Amino acid sequence: MEQLSAYILCSEEVRTALNEKRPVVALESTVIAHGLPYPSNIEAAQAMEAAIRAEGAVPATIGLHDGHIIVGLTQDEIVRLGTTAGVQKVSRRDLAVTLATKKPGATTVAGTVLCASMAGIRFFATGGIGGVHRGAEASMDISADLTELSRTPVLVTCAGAKSILDLDLTLEYLETQGVPVLGWQTDELPAFYVRSSGRRLAQRVDDALTVAAIARTQWECGLKGLIVTCPIPEEYALNPQPLEDATQQALRLAREQGIRGSATTPFILSHVAEITAGESIEANKALLINNATQGARFARAYYTGA
């Protein structure tokens, strides 16, 4: 590990790739610690790293350990995050507290975007971004992912926003924050487990070199984050109506049990997985791997022109 600052430790592989201006793709760790059950969490993390390597890029899974941001977790560290109880969920708000107290931490989308940028990484692949929650007009529950993208120059490859959110308000909020949302070979916003949400996007891109050119122009103009949304592979997509029914049931249970804030999404996804007899878990793994593959292609196009 190479120490970049008092708080960032970077694996030798990641640091060498960055120094040589080769493509590196950051990966979050909340999906390992909180998003998927064991052993699916470890399997997905390992498969995402393998998919990135298969495209000629270097994976950099990010997490917190013993007062440091680790950029490029080892396989043992990934397993530890996925099998340890009480791991902190780390967004921008939680970063300093978790570092100072030296607790183990798993980075959210917002936390990973921030830490990746601190380490000099411009590309990040995840499942689905957070967004404006249903009922946010009363709760003001809006994911920090959206504001982080408006202030941090990282390209996020994802399967759109989770379908449990208010997708219309999420797109409106991103527009207000000035975050471009690009559809990868699609005209509509993907909705995580579902390939299309019915919400038309302003911009569509059909080849990786165009994505790279947009990202380069965005950053050369001093602008910040951008999103490329990739639909889940068709064979893994879920039927929208049963999924919506399960989501509505989970939302009712969350309200009844007083589930709020950062605990809401893991609770709902867990309930949906139970209702769908694990079908949503397989869908989640498939979209994660697909996003890792596409994210590596975008990074490769940016750094190598190929």
Q: Is 206 annotated as a binding residue?
A: no
What pairs with residue 123 in β-bridges?
25, 155
Tell me which amino acid residue 69 is: I
Instruction: Please tell me whether 89 is known to bind a ligand.
Output: yes
Instruction: Say if residue 109 carries a ligand binding annotation.
Output: yes
State the catalytic residues.
28, 162
Which candidate, 266, 182, 215, places its Cα nearest to that of 23? Answer: 215
What is the SS3 assignment for 205? strand
Per the annotation, does 245 bind a ligand? no
How many CA atoms does the CB half-sphere of 114 hold within 13 Å? 21
88: tokens are 């902190």
C-alpha span between 73 and 81 (Å, rounded): 10
| Cα 90 from Cα 270, distance rounded (Å) | 20
What's the token pair of residue 188?
Answer: 């509509």
141 is in an annotated binding site: yes
> Quick check: 157 and 123 in contact, CB under 8 A?
yes
182, amino acid identity: L
Contact criterion met (CB below 8 Å) for 200 and 171: no
Among 122, 201, 121, which Cα is nearest to 160's? Answer: 201
Closest CA to 27 of 211, 301, 291: 291
Residue 144 annotated as binding? yes
| Cβ pair 286, 293 in contact under 8 A | no
Write out the binding residues: 89, 109, 141, 143-145
Write out the binding residues for substrate: 89, 109, 143-145
Write out the binding residues for Mn(2+): 141
